[in-house]
Structure 1
Amino acid sequence: MNTFAMAPLPALSALTQTTVSEWISYWLAERDYDEYLSICADTPFSEMGLSSIDAVELATELSHASKVPLDATIAWQYPTPATLAGYIADAAASRQPDDAVHTAPPAVTDNPAFQHLDEQAMADLLESLLSPAGKALQVR
């Protein structure tokens, strides 16, 4: 296990796109997605084969490490390590300590269109969004 991926990001004042990108790189390397990092930080998570479970874990761990609230679908909203790192750095820079709760994008589960989905159906939906084009979502 790569100990760098488990280390928290620097304090919010030091969060930059570079530090967040490095954290994401370590996180991906810990899960054996690192062979794709040599291609480019602009390689979409879907092309790396990021599973829906790993995408949710990435969002959870990155949110905890950065102290920036993130939705579980953040890897779909910002589909490459570079765009995700840029979003986190920008969100951290614009955060005020008092409005930490208000900086997250609205949760998908707050949307009435998704309230009927259970955890597995949400995972299936996320998987279909992150998978290469052509993979159809099968509704249960």
Structure 2
Amino acid sequence: MRRHSPHVFRKGSWRQGELGPGRPASGGRAWNGPRGWSADNPPRAVRSFPILERTPRKNRTEVTFILPADTPPGPVSVVGDFNDWQPGTHTLAPRRDGTRAVTVALPAGGENAFRYLAAGDYWFNEESADGHDGVNSRLHT
């Protein structure tokens, strides 16, 4: 008799508020493993947004900007000094995991300023950025 869930929960594998594949964010126990967890006791691998993922390459760093698929609603662009602050150049696209993302190749060892621009001229920052300079988020590669 199998007593453990067949699902593997890896760090950062679920969006904030989700309790696993097909599990609602509220109500009842979602997993009955050795320690168990529920809506009141979520797993430690809860992912918060926005997210920056960096992949070092030769002479450059690929930075992936990730947001939830529906927050904020409508199209969202990453706008910064790396694209001359042109909206629409790097628009986040939907992914299969329920998020949306765009990857930008930036020179290694640099520092860039950026912000997100959503529909309705709604500007917002990356809270997990390397720093902030006035109204802009800062990113070190």
- Provide TM-score, normalisation by structure 2: 0.26
Greater fraction helix: 1
Greater fraction strand: 2
| Greater relative contact order structure (CA < 8 Å, 6+ sep) | 1
